[in-house]
Structure 1
Amino acid sequence: MSITPTDVEHEVRSVDIVVSKANEAGDVTYANPIFFKLAGYTQGELLDRPHSIIRHPDMPKIIFKFLWDNLKEGKDVQAFVKNLSKDGGYYWVFAHVRVAKNPDGSFRNYVSTRKAMKSSAREVIEPLYTQLLEAEKSGGMEASLKELESFLESNGASLATFNETMKKLNS
């Protein structure tokens, strides 16, 4: 199913907490009602399907590469994400994604908790993501990574402090 993005934004309110869980393959295994409302899908349309269904084409691939690389190492990731709704609309969130473990330490699932993105953060992230996308188009993931590292360095940060930098932008 190919969805054509529109300029219709779906509001994520400051009281909204959007939650989903995914298996190791990234398939949605649970989502709360606000997730389904914002995404515009029914449970039957999203459960046991790839989480990437809601990936907006405005999202740079380097952000997801960073996310998955860190999750595979057992590290949490905090990042801004623009999601695509079934109706072509979109919504921005500040996501905190972590690995949940069973009592024996084995993998249970990925848990993503999302909240509203502050407008001050959006003023920084939208132009950054546009730059990252342009870099990916012209020079691939390597060029995009260099742009991301440059952005972080200009903010006194690095890939190692990515989460703290993103959290600070949304505070």
Structure 2
Amino acid sequence: TTWGRHGSTAASHAFRPGICDPSTPTDICQPTCVAADLDCCCPDTSRDTPCQCVGGDVYRGACTGCPWEGENRADESEAVCDALDHAHPGWIDDLPIVTPERRPSQKDQVWTAKVIDIVGERPTGWPVITRRGDTIGLRSVPHRSPWGGYDVAAATAEAHLTQRP
């Protein structure tokens, strides 16, 4: 704050956790997502040498409990699914899809109790898969499951299932 923003994070093109994605180290494998901003940071694009910047963002699933990182992905939710496969093998195979009556909130005790009643108890960091309307979107939202894990859109989980080997 004192020295202002110098754009060093964007200019480095380094992978880092998103603002809301888990970043605290854990004793066991837990999923997170890291992203690299590949947008152009060249100060002068009118020079003789053309800019070599790629542009856009790239994502990787990562783990807060070990050094594992997944493949580069163009989509954030794909990277989250990769991290879930690493940290919680089988999460997608036996997890029922929950249809919230309203947009779930992290502090919504009624929604939490209903999901636990449908799904059963799960370990810390376990995700929830929700069927969402078109207005809510498909982003995998960290910390929104009753167990502190990601809330993955059903359409995202279904697409991930079809891409698995």
| TM-score class, shorter | under 0.3
- Name which structure has the greater RCO, CA cutoff 8 Å, separation 6+: 1
Pick the structure with more strand per residue. Answer: 1
The structure in which a higher percent of residues are helix is: 1
| TM-score for the superposition, normalised by structure 1 | 0.25
Structure index of larger Rg: 2
